[in-house]
Structure 1
Amino acid sequence: MRHEIVHNRFVVDQLRAKGAVFVDELTDVPSGATTVLSAHGVARSVEDEAERRQLPVIDATCPLVTKVHIQGRRYAKAGRRIVLIGHAGHAEVIGTIGQIDAPVLLVSSAEDIATLQLDPATPIAYVTQTTLSVDDTRGIIAALHARFSDVIGPDVDEICYATQNRQTAVRKLAEVSDMLIVVGSRNSSNSNRLSEIGTEMGIRSYLVDGGDDIDPAWLEGVETVGVTAGASAPDALVDSVIARLRRLRELSITQLEGVSENVEFSLPPIFRRPPVAANAASNAPAARMAAR
């Protein structure tokens, strides 16, 4: 696997225990080894190198990240200067820049807009890292519109739905909690942002990998603990936090109402099995079903 498939230590450790080998670059992949590309996406140069080496590739890029790549290429083809809103060095940002066939200007704050060496009449198109704060992204987009006369790009609603839903939910959670526990790894951008939102709303917020990270001293004087999780944190980790809290204190658990997530993505083609026809008469309907 080139880089961590998602930014969650538990998931990565589970895969490593099953025999997965994580590497930084394709040069570390032995010839002929099945190669998994992470959910954050990769630059075209990485895809080209894998093809040149004839590596069997499983592309695990999140479809929402792929959508950003497609948007960026479309805007570049239309002759617009591309502004990417994101964090320098993040795997998704590196991959997105490498997927767009034009220069990409990276900004991470509204203040960065003033430093862009561009004429205010320059046609601008922006795309975003999918795991950013909705509020921060909205402010940067507003700054772009304030400085440039011709700006287009996706609405903030097109930021990753899993990120957006969790940010909305954690604000509601912080209103009824004395303390916030966010389940997620420290290299997870969206998990860190959830913790930051809790702090901004005036409550102590802790980012933990699981129940074992909870310090009993955190609970002194606390009546209500809010628990939430980053987009890549498995349910088992949330369960471990609940179990740890139950061992430390008597608990009553309430789940706040929120958006029900029922989005499903197709498996990579290598894992899809073609429909099996029992006879010639059933073959055509099966083919039509597969096409849908």
Structure 2
Amino acid sequence: MPADQTPAKGGDRPGLTILIAAPRGFCAGVDRAIEIVERALEKYGAPVYVRHEIVHNRYVVEGLKAKGAIFVEELDEVPDDAPVVFSAHGVPKSVPEEAERRELLYVDATCPLVSKVHRQAERLLEKDKHILFIGHAGHPEVIGTMGQVAKGEMTLVETVEDVANLPFTSEDDLAFLTQTTLSVDDTAEIIAALQARFPSIAAPKAEDICYATSNRQAAVKELAPGSDLVLVIGAPNSSNSLRLVEVAERCGTTAKLIQRADEIDPVWLEGVGTVGLTAGASAPETLVREVVDKLAEWRTIEERPVLVTEEKMIFKLPRQLAD
């Protein structure tokens, strides 16, 4: 599998083929969320407060801090006269309710595909269904989605094993929804287990896992078998980035999650002729180029794109910032 590692002409550095996933990096929801913070800073002036990291990427967060954004975890850290933006992951209903009680100026940067899941949850409750929510405990998106309903109206399911332990019967009126950034394969297994145990469980009309998550996983499945090492640019708290590492490893390829190029250990490249490279949905393209440049310091690079689809999705900005 390793590519030809003979030194390039005119130099003594061995060659390295980089298979670069497409699509990769920013999705439409992340683009929108970052633009919301930037436009809020332009319209209202600094500081603009942001509840939770706007997206899970330290480089992006630090860049927005430099422009005047202040990141907090809870609304009680926001002064009464300051604008606040809610992160792309979504928030429990109690958060905008508290903002309205305090008469705060707030802008909701929740990804529209996450908001779609929130609306589905509301409609399912109107039909008196109990919701089984497939997701990872503690993730901000899960906290936000489960916070759309009263306690006890939604049950979190993380694994196939959880399905066997659910305290429901096939007679119960159940429905399921999923976090948008899950592993496509893992989620399919959990859904199959739910449908086997609860044949009448209601499914979403369309898959909840977002297009960007699915596309990035598909690109890794395409490039990983031909790679000796896969590098995934993303944060350790980024669900979709962690899933890309798992997808590569399931293909039998060693994979490393990195936030920046300076985290690459040259030892990783020993015996490696082909590197697969991708970036989670919160990682900007500048970090991809940074990694390529770092690899070029050690090896003679040949870049090859691995395209599985083209993304043309664009989400509208909130009305108060659209002008």
Q: Which secondary structure does the structure 2 equivalent of 1:15 belong to? A: helix
**2:314 maps to 1:261:** no
**2:180 maps to 1:130:** yes
Which residue does the alignment assign to 1:144?
194
**Equivalent in 97, 118, 121 of residue 171 of structure 2:** 121
**2:84 maps to 1:38:** no
Which residue does the alignment assign to 2:65?
16
Q: Which secondary structure does the structure 2 equivalent of 1:205 belong to? A: strand
How big is each residue's C-alpha offset from its partner over 1:240-292, in whole Å with a ceiling of 9 and x where there is no partner?
1111111111001100121101000001111112xxxxxxxxxxxxxxxxxxx
AA aligned opposite 2:181: T
Q: Percent identity?
A: 52
AA aligned opposite 1:76: L
User: What is the distance in 1 between the residues matched to 2:133 and 2:309?
Assistant: 28
**2:234 maps to 1:184:** yes
How big is each residue's C-alpha offset from its partner over 1:75-102, in whole Å with a ceiling of 9 and x where there is no partner?
1111111010001111000000111356
**2:95 maps to 1:95:** no
Higher RCO structure, 1 or 2 (CA under 8 Å, sep 6+): 2
Contact between 1:137 and 1:156, CA under 8 Å: does it hold in 2?
Answer: no
User: What is the distance in 2 between the residues matched to 1:166 and 1:100?
Assistant: 31
Higher strand share: 2
Question: How does 1:101-250 map onto structure 2 within 5 Å?
Answer: 101=150, 103-154=153-204, 157-250=207-300
Pairwise CA distance, 1:156: 6.9
Q: Which secondary structure does the structure 1 equivalent of 2:307 belong to? A: coil
Contact between 2:179 and 2:208, CA under 8 Å: does it hold in 1?
Answer: no
Pairwise CA distance, 1:157: 3.8
TM-score (norm 1): 0.91
Contact between 1:3 and 1:23, CA under 8 Å: does it hold in 2?
Answer: yes
AA aligned opposite 2:204: P
Contact between 1:38 and 1:60, CA under 8 Å: does it hold in 2?
Answer: yes
How big is each residue's C-alpha offset from its partner over 1:17-62, in whole Å with a ceiling of 9 and x where there is no partner?
1121111100111111100100000011111000000110011000
AA aligned opposite 1:170: V
AA aligned opposite 1:174: A
**2:303 maps to 1:270:** no
State how many pairs are aligned. 273
AA aligned opposite 1:195: V
Contact between 1:85 and 1:107, CA under 8 Å: does it hold in 2?
Answer: yes
User: What is the distance in 2 between the residues matched to 1:40 and 1:11?
Assistant: 15
Q: Which secondary structure does the structure 1 equivalent of 2:155 belong to? A: strand
How big is each residue's C-alpha offset from its partner over 1:1-25, in whole Å with a ceiling of 9 and x where there is no partner?
1000111111111111112111110
AA aligned opposite 1:202: G
CA RMSD of aligned residues (A): 1.2
Q: Which secondary structure does the structure 2 equivalent of 1:82 belong to? A: strand
Pairwise CA distance, 1:155: 6.0
AA aligned opposite 1:235: E
Unmatched 5+ residue regions in structure 2? 1-49
Contact between 1:38 and 1:59, CA under 8 Å: does it hold in 2?
Answer: yes
Contact between 1:86 and 1:129, CA under 8 Å: does it hold in 2?
Answer: yes
TM-score (norm 2): 0.82
**Equivalent in 10, 16, 28 of residue 77 of structure 2:** 28
**2:55 maps to 1:6:** yes
Pairwise CA distance, 1:158: 3.5
Which residue does the alignment assign to 2:39?
none
User: What is the distance in 1 between the residues matched to 2:117 and 2:82?
Assistant: 29
Runs (4+) off by over 4 Å = none
**Equivalent in 251, 256, 261 of residue 301 of structure 2:** 251
